[in-house]
Amino acid sequence: MIRKDALHFLSTLPCLFKTTDMQKLHGSPSIFLNRAIKKGMVKRIVRGTYLNVLKCEMSGRWPDIAEIACHIRSPSYISAEWAMNYHGLLLQVPYACTAVTLVPGRRKIIPYGQLYIEYSLIKKDLFFGFRYERELNAGIAISEKALLDTIYLRRQVPCEDELELDVLDQEIFQEMSLRYPKSVQSKVACLIQRNPATD
């Protein structure tokens, strides 16, 4: 494929795409991808998932790490410390963008620039409490769910002295906690008892 055709072909693909997307449109996706990667027009994120550098440069829009995380493994949504920071519940900026998913995979951690994406499996009955955020182009847990997921996944209340608990809606927080195991519910009760400002 000559360069002009390659440019046109890449312009028809989204900023993030998978090998399966290419297989529908191109007869030799592996050869094309290898050439495009060498020319800097495409960047491999993980096996089977690519960043269309050319399309991003043309559109002026680069996908957020949250969008990338949810694109690689679906269904998933962003939660834990990353979502807590996004909502102002945790002021400390995390290095890991945690994506909660129902899909197991060989790689739990995927480096991306100076950050990394972390995947955490969750039970199907706990896969709720998130909404789509247009600016991220991804689903992200609401603040109450993000804290509950963190307590559930880390088995402790994270950075308690750094949490901005006034961000939480206590009624929603307590109601959602009832869907989690007793161990999480007890930690939530202790957190509220120690921090009456959340009332």
Structural domain boundaries in the chain? 3-59, 65-198
pTM: 0.91
Q: What is the pLDDT of residues 93-152, one digit of tens each?
A: 999 999 999 999 888 999 999 999 999 999 999 999 999 999 999 999 999 999 999 999
Q: Express each pLDDT in 136-166 by its tens digit.
A: 999 999 999 999 999 999 999 988 889 999 9
Tokens of 68: 């990338």
Q: Is residue 21 pLDDT above 90, yes or no? A: no
> Which residues pair with residue 130 across a beta bridge?
141
Residue with tokens 């809606």: 169
Among the residue ranges 5-9, 29-33, 191-195, the one predicted with the least confidence is 5-9
- Asked whether residue 40 carries a pLDDT value surpassing 60, the answer given is yes
64 by DSSP, 3-state: which? coil
Q: Which amino acid is at 108?
A: K
Given a cut of 60, whether residue 198 has pLDDT beyond it is no
What pLDDT is recorded for position 8? Answer: 80
Instruction: Give residue 43's pLDDT band: very low, low, confident or very high (50, 70, 90).
Output: very high
Res 178: pLDDT:
97
In the DSSP assignment, the letter for residue 20 is H
The stretch 185-198 carries a mean pLDDT of: 84
DSSP 86-155: HTTSB-SPPSEEEEEES---S-SEEEETTEEEEEEE--GGG--SEEEETTTTEEEE-HHHHHHHHHHHHS
What pLDDT is recorded for position 197? 54
Q: What is the pLDDT, as a whole number, of residue 31?
A: 85
Per DSSP bridges, beta strands 115-121 and 96-101 are parallel
Q: What is residue 7's predicted lDDT score, i.e. its pLDDT?
A: 80
3-state DSSP assignment of residue 178: coil
Query: pLDDT value at position 4?
Result: 67
Question: What's the whole-number average pLDDT of the chain?
Answer: 91
Lowest mean pLDDT: which of 4-13, 48-57, 165-174, 186-195? 4-13
